[in-house]
Structure 1
Amino acid sequence: MSVDGAKKAVEGAKDAAGTAKDAATDAKDAAAGAAAAAKEKMSGDKKN
């Protein structure tokens, strides 16, 4: 493998890691949103 090829592979790995990190953050935000919505619904149900 050439030096350029190795550099491109490293860049690709960095991009993939960044994408995975973003996806994990999105999933965490979605889970937090779902938990907040469920909590709100439950407190709303208690009032009725």
Structure 2
Amino acid sequence: MNQKGMIIPILASIGVGAATYYGMRRNGNMHPIATVTSALRNQMMKTN
């Protein structure tokens, strides 16, 4: 995979990580796995 092909997955993973971090901060005591699941579900809904 060339460098241009690497940029998109890296940006996507950073975006998911940032969304997860924000979700965990906002929800406070929510379980991290549930936060990741809800963040991914929200992201899937936005793309469809």
TM superposition score normalised by structure 1: 0.52
* Displacement over 4 Å in runs of 4+: none
TM superposition score normalised by structure 2: 0.52
Bigger Rg, which one: 1
Query: Could you list the runs of 5+ residues in structure 2 that have no partner in the other structure?
Result: 31-48
Higher relative contact order (CA 8 A, sep 6+): 2
Query: Could you list the runs of 5+ residues in structure 1 that have no partner in the other structure?
Result: 1-15
Q: Percent identity?
A: 10
